[in-house]
Amino acid sequence: MLKIVVGSPRLRSFAVVSEPPCCTGGDAWRVVEDRDGVEVYWSGRKLFSMRIATWERGVEIAHTLEGDEHVYGLGEKYAHLDRRFKRFHFWNVDQTVHLPSGDPMYKSIPFYIVAKPGKVYGVFVDYPGYLYIDTGVEHLDRIVIRVGAGYAVLYVFSGENLYEILDAYTRLTGRPFMPPKWAVGYHQSRYSYASQDEVLRVAEEFRRRRIPCDAIWLDIDYMDGYRLFTWSRDRFPDPRGMIEKLHSMNMRVVTIVDVGIKEEKGYHAYDRGVELNAFLRTPDGELFRGGVWPGLCVFPDFLRSSGRRYWAQRLAEFMGVGVDGIWLDMNEPAIFYMEKPFRSMVAEVSKRLIENDVEGAGNHYFWRARHLIGTTSVGKGIGMVDIPAVHLDDDGGEVRHSEIHNAYPLLENEATKMGFEIARPGRRWFILTRSAYAGIQRLAAVWTGDNQSDWGHMAISIPMLLNLGLSGVPFAGADVGGFGDDVDPEMLVRWTQLGAFYPFFRNHSSKGTRRQEPWVFGEPWSSYVAEAIRLRYRLLPYIYSMFIEAHRSGKPVIRPLFAEFPQDEQSYVVEDEFLVGPSLLVAPVLTPGARARAVYLPQVRWLDLWSGEVLEPGWRLVEAPIDRVPLFLREDGAVVTTEPRSSATEPWGTVTIDVFVGRKACAVLYDDDGETADFEKGRFFEAKVCIERRGGDAVIRVEELHMGYEPGFSKVRIRLLGSPWVERVLLEGEELRVYRSGKAVVAELGIGRLTASQQG
């Protein structure tokens, strides 16, 4: 990793958690300076030439791009997989327009990867204020970075492959957190489930229909007048009892928590915050106020450790009734209007109306309203609000909010994690956040915000989530079925089939829209939706093992094709299919009425998991009936499955390793208690099972990687798919009893040392 510092940074980094000694260069790095800038080399190969200049608001940095290089990452952007030839603004906003023109968005992660066959590197621009990145619009052959300050800190990463880049980036900014097992299951949400009776009815319907579900989510209507850390006495009179009932059904509860604290004397969260001086202030020392759901609100100052402790304590007390997860929303922060400008606008409009200047009143209203809600022009055409507030650091120094705007939700997430540590010491936390900055992966999962029930929104979720994974954030999802507008039966089926492979799998919809629970359209649609959810639970052993891999190395859970096939040039631009882990290719249906689709299969042979047909690489037209999503197993790849349970936390019983062996395929079996942090102390089970082809023999080798936990399964079944060559199956020289199931050859092993079982 190479660190480049321009100017003199004023503030500490909020993203960086561990800067290795090699960050100023190292044997592999060489920087050659000339009159116009620098040339950067890694392992003797030139990566790019860089020039540094100024623009009207700060520093401009430009570096060269080769004509065949692709650009990925940059966090959550409504754009194609390849980010090249686009302009992006980084300033967190409550973005209601999910269109190519809807930029910036909720999250700002200024980390990108440049890749082509034989070359890959990454660049992280660590500045939490306003940033602009142009990936080839103004100049076809370069990336232009404009920083809204007189300084900049860049980190450059290179390696032999994409995964080395992500490993280095997540060592710098923090490894992805390991979620509790229940968080990897299916979640049901609505804005809003309006009473505890309704919540319990929904949960009971899932269990009655035997549709797996791990969590019910509560939006803002559970609160008393939208006041944070409260419950409505009328609609939710017994939250503890409700949660205990849900826990008895093996379901968890996640509650939304916004960031604005209602300004109201006698309200405990406000009074305590004022007492501790925990809120943002204006430059003249008054409390900064803005209008949100409860009315005029004040906002915690998360820059100060005392402000973070205030938030953590309030949250921990709130969680005392049994809340399992926290959903941080409106934390850009989203503000409907700011008090002083709003009052000024109202006064001026009133004055002009009194003077009978109706046109002037209207013009003034629209001009001021634009500034109040977020279309102030900064740079070249960006919608953003410059919030006139100041933070205090722990030394009492003032910091303008605009300098750290994008890091505000990151600091809030740090404080929220502290709340979990107070309320649930030793247990894993679960936080979902709408807004974020680089490094968020160490604290929270993310979702892509207020999308719509639209086929285009469903399709664009794939490159959005893939690029979040390439930005170091593996635990990400989009609202299945769409948040706004009305879903139709086919869209709900197809989106659930896609969502079953999102790392974060939640169905969520807005007030005034059609309900989206799995059963709302009746048969046959309900069965199709339920089966898509069950497919997620079948794949839980495989998906859960991808989460521990992400936690250890930063590898994404879902991956673009080129991540595994970097020499395949076609794979760099395919964005309507993806890999789960290294072995499973998913090709969802993204258009209404389609019952077949074109699929690109990169480089190796693939096995169609529905038909059992072995397919050569290249473009194929495959069947895609309404009741299934096309799935393909990579040659020399493996996936681990189980029979679906009602909850992700239930023991798996028997796990099945499906393998497609050309020469040698391996699967990792991983399990832990799914709830505590004890896996970090060695309380986990991990074994590697490899199957090698030797003539007509399938030879099994078992490597015990770690045996610190008794796993939640007692038997391992190995299914050899697409393998007509198999005559015998051997384990440590002993021939196993096998049986045939369809086209598969099946052997079973006991769990102990994974020795052969006597069942066949």
| Active site residues per annotation | 329, 332, 450
Rounded to whole angstroms, how far apart are CA atoms 341 and 289? 11
- CA angle, residues 414, 420, 424, in degrees to nearest 5: 155
Rounded to whole angstroms, how far apart are CA atoms 9 and 629? 50
Going by the DSSP 8-state scheme, the letter that residue 99 receives in this structure is S
* The two structure tokens encoding residue 553: 């190395």
* The two structure tokens encoding residue 656: 């099945």
Rounded to whole angstroms, how far apart are CA atoms 453 and 481? 6
Going by the DSSP 8-state scheme, the letter that residue 462 receives in this structure is H
List strand residue ranges (DSSP E) for 560-684, in order.
578-580, 584-586, 596-601, 606-608, 614-615, 618-623, 631-634, 637-642, 653-660, 664-671
Output the CA–CA distances (angstroms, integers) from residue 737 to 717, 728, 742, 749, 757, in the order listed: 12, 9, 17, 10, 9
Rounded to whole angstroms, how far apart are CA atoms 516 and 448? 18
DSSP line for 397-449? -EEEHHHHGGGHHHHHHHHHHHHHHHHSTTB---EEESSEETTGGGT-EEE--
- DSSP element (H, E) containing 523: none
* Paired strand residues for 549: none
- DSSP element (H, E) containing 379: none
Rounded to whole angstroms, how far apart are CA atoms 668 and 648? 18
In degrees rounded to 5, what are phi and psi of residue 749?
A: -125, 145
- Tokens 């005034």 appear where? 512
* Paired strand residues for 756: 749
Neighbours of 26 (CB within 10 A): 13
Rounded to whole angstroms, how far apart are CA atoms 127 and 731? 55
* The two structure tokens encoding residue 530: 């339920």
Q: 74: which residues sit within 8 A by CB, 6+ positions away?
A: 83, 88, 109, 110, 111, 112, 133, 467, 471
Rounded to whole angstroms, how far apart are CA atoms 81 and 574? 8
